[in-house]
Chain A
Amino acid sequence: DQQVKQNSPSLSVQEGRISILNCDYTNSMFDYFLWYKKYPAEGPTFLISISSIKDKNEDGRFTVFLNKSAKHLSLHIVPSQPGDSAVYFCAALNTGNQFYFGTGTSLTVIP
């Protein structure tokens, strides 16, 4: 049972434009959310996180938005750069510190 879902397996965006990656979850016990970036043959790298008591967290070009009523979070990258091309995973932690990953979205930024 996939409790964290990324329904778009891939996304293509023009360089300089905004990339929006989406993630939905089903478990209301999740209280912490994270985004990871992964290049081929490498481990995921932590990007940004958000606690369930917030609805927005910003770090440079990356902003994560959380809509708890919709059980939805999104990662905005602006402006998008070719080096952002990678697979992005969202992840969620419940209050018991159990970790759940989404299936990933492959982002391609076109120069």
Chain B
Amino acid sequence: DGGITQSPKYLFRKEGQNVTLSCEQNLNHDAMYWYRQDPGQGLRLIYYSQIVNDFQKGDIAEGYSVSREKKESFPLTVTSAQKNPTAFYLCASRGGLGQGGRATHFGDGTRLSIL
């Protein structure tokens, strides 16, 4: 079945450490996204990529970095510069009109906590 896989499901970060969250999709979607969800808040866009080797900052990109070397993969690195990284992170992908419509599909998320 096609879908989006995020790993790990739970991740712990020590102070001053960078951690990378994995996101892989086999939906052949061009666009991929990273969102952050905090308790009582909506989804906030961190980074997005419309095509391989290109990505754009979202609303809260500071302290994060991404890469898009392959269409299927869009890893997110939470750097030590991100002072409040504890949150639920969601990866998403979306096809164009010819790729199954404009609905965005989500992975099951990674919960990141600080040790």
Given A9-B40, A99-B45, A101-B43, is A43 in contact with B108 using a C-beta cutoff of 8 Å? yes
Question: Which A residues are in CB contact (< 8 Å) with B91?
Answer: 43
A93 engages B102 (CB within 8 Å): yes
B104 engages A34 (CB within 8 Å): yes
B63 to chain A, nearest CB (A): 21
Interface centre among B9, B45, B101, B104 (most CB of A within 10 A): B104
A101 to B9, alpha carbons, bound, how many Å? 23
Question: Which A residues are in CB contact (< 8 Å) with B42?
Answer: 2, 6, 89, 101-104
Docked complex: B78-115 residues within 8 A CB-CB of A: 88, 90-92, 94, 101-109, 111
Docked complex: A10-53 residues within 8 A CB-CB of B: 32, 34, 36, 41-46, 49
B47 at the interface (CB under 8 A from A): no
A46 engages B43 (CB within 8 Å): no
B102 engages A44 (CB within 8 Å): no
A91 at the interface (CB under 8 A from B): yes
A89 to B41, alpha carbons, bound, how many Å? 11
Interface centre among A34, A44, A103, A104 (most CB of B within 10 A): A44
- Which among B88, B106, B111 is the interface contact of A45 at CB below 8 angstroms? B106
A64 to B31, alpha carbons, bound, how many Å? 26
Question: Which B residues are in CB contact (< 8 Å) with A69?
Answer: none
A42 engages B103 (CB within 8 Å): no
Question: Which A residues are in CB contact (< 8 Å) with B94?
Answer: 97, 99
Question: Which B residues are in CB contact (< 8 Å) with A9?
Answer: 40
A99 engages B104 (CB within 8 Å): yes
Question: Which A residues are in CB contact (< 8 Å) with B101?
Answer: 49
A44 to chain B, nearest CB (A): 5
Question: Which A residues are in CB contact (< 8 Å) with B66?
Answer: none
Chain B residues with a Cβ under 8 A of chain A: 4, 6, 9, 31, 33, 35, 40-43, 45, 88, 90-92, 94, 101-109, 111
Q: Which 8 A-B pairs have the closest CB atoms?
A: A43-B106, A103-B42, A101-B43, A46-B103, A43-B108, A44-B106, A101-B42, A43-B107
